[in-house]
Amino acid sequence: MKDLSHFEEKISIKFKNPDLLLQALTHRSYINENPSFRLGHNERFEFLGDAVLELIVTEALFAKFPDKSEGELTSFRAALVNANMLSDIAVELEMNQYLMLSRGEAKDMGRARQYILANAFEALVGAIYLDQGYDVTRGFISRAVLAHLDEIISKKLYKDPKSLFQEEAQERVGITPNYEVLREWGPDHDKHFVVGVFLEKELVAEGEGPSKQLAQEEAARNGLHVRGWV
């Protein structure tokens, strides 16, 4: 069993019930491979943590920006709690080292791991809430999530990537980007797409996703980084 004391130091929280933390880090695949494991997987914690995270972020944004519209606040919140941001935060917290995964999942460091990390972060929030209560959870989210708010606003990361990439491309090089599906595979119920974003005939970046729309967003997001426009 993994020693989670270093992780507790990393998040500045000492759990009263260490099993809550362990379960928050336990993926369904680990249970499938180790059916005798004494705890369950983290999906119920994820369900709870998602709601707690959204409430605390909403509360903070509502208090911080009394003059912003509902639409603007919603955009700020979406940028703070989307899977990309949460997986990045999970990486900052070194959660990869502590996840309980099947041997197969442990080897996969691609897009699927990002979703596992984002979900595990939400599960962690749920576990902190159960173990420590609302105020401690709010302090953790302030440190781990809301600390990224200034960057999101200054870099306009609250705008969807396609809109932001188009604005930057038109302003900087006078070209409207276009998107093309480069590869796709899988049955209808489990399709996977790789999309390229182009400036005229130049392939700037690629993106992957379970739909063309999500793959386009990923391509635009990668394009912003490739061009240094964020």
Question: H or E stretch including 183?
Answer: strand 178-185
> What is the rounded distance in angstroms from the CA atom of residue 208 to the CA atom of residue 141?
29
Q: Which two tokens stand for residue 126?
A: 């749920």
Q: Which two tokens stand for residue 76?
A: 């700020």
> What is the rounded distance in angstroms from the CA atom of residue 103 to the CA atom of residue 74?
38
Active-site annotation holder among 46, 105, 122, 218: 122
Output the DSSP codes for 147-181: GGHHHHHHTTTTS-HHHHHHHHHHHHHS---EEEE
Could you confirm whether 50 is annotated as catalytic?
Answer: yes
Question: H or E stretch including 180?
Answer: strand 178-185
Q: Which two tokens stand for residue 221?
A: 């997001």
Residue 181, CA distances (Å) to 98, 104, 204 in order? 36, 29, 14
Active-site annotation holder among 46, 50, 131, 168: 50
Output the DSSP codes for 69-106: -HHHHHHHHHHHHSHHHHHHHHHHTTGGGT-B--HHHH
> What is the rounded distance in angstroms from the CA atom of residue 180 to the CA atom of residue 139?
43
Could you confirm whether 131 is annotated as catalytic?
Answer: no
Work out the number of other CB atoms within 10 angstroms of the CB of residue 93: 18
Q: Which residues are catalytically annotated?
A: 50, 122
